[in-house]
Amino acid sequence: MKAALLLLMPLLTFAGTIPGRDDNQGLDNVFPKPDPVQAFSEMKLLSADGSVWRKPQEDWAGARQRLATDPAWGQWFAAQQTEVNEWMAHQRDRVGWTGGWWHDFVSPKDGSFLIWTSAVPGEDVEFLASASDARVTITPKIFQGWVGIFRGQHMTMIERAAVLWRLTGDPRYAQWVAEQLDFYANNLGKWPIQSRFYGPSRLRVQPLDDAIDLTKLTRAIRLTWAETTPAQRQFWFERLLQPQAELLNASMHRIHNIGCWLRSATAQVALLYGDEALWRFAIDGPWGLRRQLTHGVTSDYLWFEQSLGYQEFIAGALIPLFTEAALAGRGAELAREMAIVQNLILAPTWLRFPNGYLPNPADNTISYARYAPLTASLTRAYRILPTPLGLAAARQVKSWDTLLDPPSGTPVQLPPLPTVTSRNFESSRCAILRAGDWQVFLHYGQLTDSHAQADALNFEAFYGDTDITHDPCTVGYGSPLHDGYYTRGLTHNVPLLNGEGEEPPQRGELTTFDAGQAIVAAAQPAYRSDASAHRTLRIVGPRLIDEATITALAGTPQTLGLALHVQGHATLPADFLPVADFTDGRPTPFRYWSNVRAATYHDQASFDIAYPGGLTLHITFSLPGEFRVFHGSVPDAPTPVRREAFYLETRGVKATFTTEFAPNTAHQGQHTDSKNLFQ
């Protein structure tokens, strides 16, 4: 199979794996969740007994009938079968390939993901390509990244071949599945143990990837169970599944998104082979799933690492387990956990901007949790955690799930999306202000350093449907731009000391929140070891007013600054001149700016920013005394997209930068929920 696949990787390869220190292991985060079933109940379909879950079906006979009688289903199935057949005929894994990290499969030029195909680099193709570079040299790191992606694809094909055996009865599918299982069982010990991220791994570069693969292999064994012998199944358990489960159990003795994946994978092995001790460790152990969700999900039902992509990532880890447990008759044991995970999927709906776009605290790649509702996750969950939105979306797609367990029945009335209002999400360290045409998101603190960026006190804002300023997410973690730019203070709308932002993690202090007066303020007393910071945001009629203060704790003059990014185009006065020494004496992130121009002002500087759709904002910066204003082109996301940014700079011990955003009056009154519900 040679068709190019643009690398917007599936949810199962979400970027959940940057190393980090978490001294408290997550256990001192206590988040009461008194009634998860009733939370967001207006968006749910409760069962007759009041629970949120249903027992999923695997209707193989009905699926065969649909394929035989429905031309649309037949056409879909033929395409799926051809894809698996071609893979089986032409692709094979190799003992000599060491699995790498898909985040290393990125362009050295700008950090964008390379275009992945099944053509073997160095054998079938001489160069690789990205959206911005047609000729990328194959390095050992990039090749291992390709291997990691290939191995994940290969595991997917093994699982799909097992499904095809159940549907068609063609023994060649079960035989190929058995051959692949034999290959991995016979060669598992030949791959080196890698401990690059969070613990030991053999199949790929980290235990997360091994857990994803183990989930697919376990289901493939279950689906082909009747076509295999007890000796085969025991061989695969002793030589593949059990060693992998033991390897995974040695990792993630902490509260962490990856811990959910590891425990989910081993719990599925335990279900299949009736290993009660393994089940209890995965579910009720010291770092089992109950504890992961107790300490990892805030009272607002947001994952405590804050990146909203984890709402989908945790759901991706646990929906397969919930499904397998329910099919095995053990769903009731996980009823509370199912309710919590369903809430994880629903909660971002209360954070969305008017066009459905989601704010982005912490790091996240552009492919995950960018719009709410999280329709893809609601669709993925419909078999076990049905919702009106999930069922409606599932009825519009053809997939293995909808083939085996059709979302049948009378279409339910879709609930209106909840109105987003001013709200403090205290346990998640963020807040929303909404008044008039403005909606503002303030990220005022962090709960862990895992996936934290130097973005405490960052704000994002919309005026009606117009994106005024947003957080840019990040690129592949293997790119120098991740650590060198996207995680750093200059990338966010934050105050800076000597060019640097906050040193995470910092919980911060919410000092004011008044929804009626449309004001929110937060402090960061330990913003850095050498600085404190404070921010106040107010909506006053049609204007948004921001006051950001940075204080040098040393008491001696320092370089004090403020970064502001805009999604529009600034009109610059003629006195803005090119700057040749912008990077001199400044931290690494400044190197990624281009076309830098600057001018010097006293007390005040004003600019017009033209946005798509006709909106113009008049932005006024105020700061007593003399200050410089820099303007340039900066990386946005997805790369190679860029946007414009301002950087204000002065010298002193303390500075308060006041920014006023005043729109023209033609665009008032444009709050809508125009985003397609099922995008």
CATH number at residue 567: 2.70.98.70
404 in a domain, yes or no?
no
The answer to whether residues 42 and 118 belong to one domain is yes
The answer to whether residues 434 and 354 belong to one domain is no
Q: Nearest CA to 149 among 314, 4, 309, 7?
A: 7
The answer to whether residues 83 and 164 belong to one domain is yes
Q: pTM of this prediction?
A: 0.93
The reported pLDDT for the residue numbered 1 is 39
401 in a domain, yes or no?
no
Residues 6 or more apart whose CB falls under 8 angstroms from that of 412 comprise 45, 388, 391, 392
Angstrom distance (rounded) from CA 623 to CA 627: 7
675 in a domain, yes or no?
no
13 in a domain, yes or no?
no
The reported pLDDT for the residue numbered 366 is 65
The answer to whether residues 299 and 441 belong to one domain is no
The answer to whether residues 200 and 334 belong to one domain is yes
Angstrom distance (rounded) from CA 68 to CA 479: 48
Q: Nearest CA to 356 among 310, 418, 404, 400?
A: 418
19 in a domain, yes or no?
no
Angstrom distance (rounded) from CA 28 to CA 506: 14
Q: How many domains does the chain have?
A: 2
The answer to whether residues 439 and 376 belong to one domain is no
Q: Are 615 and 663 in contact (CB under 8 A)?
A: yes
DSSP 580: S
Domain that holds residue 578: 424-667
Q: What is the CATH number of the domain that holds 339?
A: 1.50.10.100
- What length is written for the chain? 679
Query: Between the CA of residue 321 and those of 204, 232, 260, 366, what are the distances in Å?
Result: 22, 24, 10, 26
The answer to whether residues 615 and 556 belong to one domain is yes
Please tell me whether residue 73 adopts helix, strand or coil conformation.
helix
The answer to whether residues 117 and 248 belong to one domain is yes
The answer to whether residues 656 and 608 belong to one domain is yes
The answer to whether residues 173 and 239 belong to one domain is yes
Radius of gyration of the chain (CA): 26
Angle at 384 between CA 383 and CA 389, to 5 degrees: 65
The answer to whether residues 184 and 229 belong to one domain is yes
The answer to whether residues 374 and 492 belong to one domain is no
Domain boundary among 379, 396, 413: 396
Pick out the chain residues at pLDDT < 70.
1-24, 366-368, 665-679
10 in a domain, yes or no?
no
Encode burial over 545-573: b for 16+ CB neighbours within 10 A, e otherwise: bbbbbbbbbeeeebbbbbbbbbbbebebe
Q: Are 218 and 265 in contact (CB under 8 A)?
A: yes
Domain boundary among 380, 396, 412: 396
Angle at 437 between CA 490 and CA 632, to 5 degrees: 25
Angstrom distance (rounded) from CA 306 to CA 55: 31
610 in a domain, yes or no?
yes
